[in-house]
Amino acid sequence: MFSFLLNNQVKTPMKKLLVCASVLCCGFVSAQSPLPPESPDMHSLFNGRDLSGWDGDPKLWSVKEGLIRGETTPANPAKGNTFLVCNSVRTGNFELRLSFRCSSTNNSGIQYRSKRFSETEAPAKWKVRGYQHELRNENKMPNVAGFIYDEGGKRARICLAGEKAEWTETGKKVLAALITPEEYKLLFRLNDWNDVVIIAEGRHIRHYLNGRQVLDFTDSPEEVLLDGVLALQLHGGKPMWTEFRNIRIKELK
């Protein structure tokens, strides 16, 4: 109904009032939570030279031209999803900032509050499960960067990009929309660097893309993950590459 109203001309004050009432009633209007200014005490997680403090399959992850780069090829594929795990930090209540770019043949992700399948045995030690901030080189919703995926879990796409939602006893409840498909298409930089901010405080999680909030999610007390590792994903399947830079984090009290 919302798209129908928007796509039809509103010619009278009464019709304008009805449109506004319908939008508010259905929960389509949502105030944006502005991106906080970056704190000067953010802690860098990548030295720009090597993968000190990180652990991943050395055949797939490297540092090239000052960037973290993960790459799979037909001759050197990933056997399922694999991750570069940060050993120097835990993600409980935190603010994470980084920039990424990736190829369009596959997708990547940022794991947080996640658990390793194994601490010592390869390749299981490079596999994790938990919250994933999806990364894609696409601008047509819903298959875009910014949604939360339940990596290794049962809930799949927990909260889509553009949604303000909460998880209830019966599943996800969408409360409002944060960005339209048209706005997202203009916001995302295809084939270029995009800036990501993740802020997690207790059950409340916010995702920002290029300075704009694109997700607001509150998990249930029964399902919420409150602590775990940080990791970067290379997706199994089609050959792909992904790159990261300026990775920094701040613990929130």
**Rounded Cα distance, 199 and 208, in Å:** 8
pLDDT score for 30: 65
Could you tell me the fold of the domain covering 33-251?
A: Jelly Rolls (2.60.120)
Label the pairing between strands 212-218 and 163-168. parallel
User: What residues does each domain of the chain span?
Assistant: 1-30, 33-251
Is a pLDDT exceeding 60 seen at residue 43? yes
Is a pLDDT exceeding 60 seen at residue 131? yes
| Beta-bridge mates of residue 71 | 241
How does the average pLDDT of the chain come out, rounded?
90
Is a pLDDT exceeding 50 seen at residue 39? yes
Is a pLDDT exceeding 90 seen at residue 18? no
Better pLDDT: 225 or 12: 225
Q: Two tokens at 87?
A: 């050993």
Section 91-111 average pLDDT: 98
pLDDT score for 32: 82
Section 87-99 average pLDDT: 97
DSSP 3-state assignment of 17? helix
Is a pLDDT exceeding 70 seen at residue 15? no
pLDDT digits (tens, 9 = 90+) for 106-129: 999 999 999 999 989 999 999 999
Residues in the chain: 253
Report which secondary-structure segment, H or E, holds 15: helix 13-26
From residue 158, alpha-carbon distances to 6, 38, 121, 247 in Å are 28, 27, 29, 25
